[in-house]
């Protein structure tokens, strides 16, 4: 096939022939979709990149320095999502490869999922569903609920802001910890600033994590801060697994020092079969899918496709707002 090159769709959720990728084919590119329903390993990715691959629509596969060094034709990585902790951006920059994100396309989806997890835990929907399906029918105590309580949101990016709007709409007093948030942002959302993480953890009935994964944020939810939370508090994390010290969290759960936990992300993914997190009735677990509703499927994919086409059309200004290493762009 005589094309302008191959574009790999490495995410796990698509099938060959998906109409969302038709614009790439119409533009003259061959599209190869990963239909294994798992992400390629580093070695598998390197092997795939040898075949005149000019772009990838990336999932959570590792883009290491070794990968970029072994990618002779790769011109752009379009990340399906907003996190790029699996991408060595310095290596990408050395090779002149922009890493383009889908900012602004799925933040409402992630916030909705986080809010749904929080509501499910606060209303004990899971245990009550299992009770009735098992043939039981009884009053099992008052559930804590969320409305009128205090929400603590860590990180006020797009997702944190969308979560804040949901909490405010639930008539929750809403605190935000984010050193980079402006007073104007806080005022526009009707939320208040938490001066310290410790203060937020001590006061909040719901703690929702929406921070990026960096060396500075690793284990920001640790034994010391978990010791401050109310025994009825709910903790939700839909951002990145390394933000929580899972061993400390398991200890808090075993000692009944926290009311409920909702996790869509983990320190190790997939979650190991032996993880103690699987054994608690007040823990909701999800396989890193919070941003994958039908609306996001369309909007995020369209953003990735547009970033690739604009890049090859020589229009760097169109993709600049989405590129995390804009120094590689011309103009």
In order of their start, the domains of the chain are 6-105+293-328 (3.40.50.720), 107-285 (3.40.50.720)
Tokens of 194: 């938490």
Whether residue 197 is preceded by a cis peptide bond, meaning omega within 30 degrees of 0, is: no
Q: What is the pLDDT of residue 330?
A: 85
- 146-180 pLDDT, tens digit per residue, is 999 999 999 999 999 999 999 999 999 999 999 99
The residues, ordered by sequence, that sit 6+ positions from 248 with a Cβ below 8 Å of its Cβ are 219, 221, 222, 223, 226
Residue 275 pLDDT level (bands cut at 50, 70, 90): very high
Q: Is residue 28 scored above 60 in pLDDT?
A: yes
- Is 269 a known active-site residue? yes
DSSP state of 158: H
Look at residue 1 and tell me whether its pLDDT is greater than 90. Answer: no
Spot the catalytic one: 47, 187, 224, 269: 269
Cα-based distances in Å from 32 to 5, 14, 262, 299: 11, 10, 35, 20
Helix (H, G, I), strand (E, B) or coil at 269: coil
pLDDT of res. 3: 81
Angle between helices 107-122 and 125-133 (to 10 degrees): 60
Residue of 288, 297, 303, 311 marked active site: 288
pTM above 0.95, yes or no: no
- Indicate the burial class of 35 (C-beta count within 10 angstroms; 0-12, 13-18, 19 or more): exposed
- For residue 288, indicate whether it is catalytic: yes
104: left (phi over 0), alpha (psi -120 to 50) or beta: left
Catalytic residue, from 240, 297, 303, 311: name it: 240
DSSP class of residue 69 equals: H
Residue 58 β-bridge partners: 79
Average pLDDT rounded to a whole number, residues 256-269: 97
């Amino acid at each position: 096939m005589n094309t302008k090159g191959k574009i790999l769709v490495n995410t796990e959720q698509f099938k060959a022939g998906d109409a969302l990728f038709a614009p790439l084919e119409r533009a003259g590119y061959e599209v190869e979709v990963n239909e294994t329903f798992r992400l390629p390993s580093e070695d598998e990715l390197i092997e795939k990149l040898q075949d005149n691959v000019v772009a990838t629509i990336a999932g959570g596969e590792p883009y290491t320095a070794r990968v970029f060094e072994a990618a002779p034709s790769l011109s752009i990585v379009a990340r399906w999502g907003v996190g790029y902790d699996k991408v060595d951006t310095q290596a990408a920059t050395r090779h002149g490869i922009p890493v383009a994100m889908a900012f602004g396309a799925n933040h409402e989806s992630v916030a909705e999922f986080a809010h749904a997890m929080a509501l499910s835990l606060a209303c004990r929907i899971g245990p009550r569903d299992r009770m009735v399906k098992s043939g039981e029918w009884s009053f099992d105590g008052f559930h804590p609920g969320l409305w009128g309580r205090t929400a603590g949101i860590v990180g006020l990016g797009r997702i944190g802001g969308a979560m804040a709007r949901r909490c405010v709409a639930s008539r929750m007093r809403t605190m935000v910890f984010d050193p980079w948030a402006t007073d104007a942002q806080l005022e526009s959302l009707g939320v208040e600033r938490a001066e310290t993480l410790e203060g937020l953890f001590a006061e909040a009935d719901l703690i929702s994590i929406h921070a990026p994964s960096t060396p500075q944020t690793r284990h920001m939810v640790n034994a010391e801060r978990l010791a401050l939370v109310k025994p009825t508090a709910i903790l939700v994390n839909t951002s990145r697994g390394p933000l929580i010290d899972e061993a400390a969290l398991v200890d808090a759960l075993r000692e009944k020092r926290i009311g409920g936990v909702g996790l869509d992300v983990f320190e190790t993914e997939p979650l190991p079969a032996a993880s103690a997190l699987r054994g608690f009735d007040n823990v909701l677990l999800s396989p890193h899918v919070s941003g994958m509703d039908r609306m996001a499927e369309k909007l995020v994919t369209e953003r990735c496709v547009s970033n690739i086409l604009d890049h090859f059309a020589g229009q760097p200004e169109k993709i600049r707002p989405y590129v995390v290493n804009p120094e590689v762009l011309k103009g």
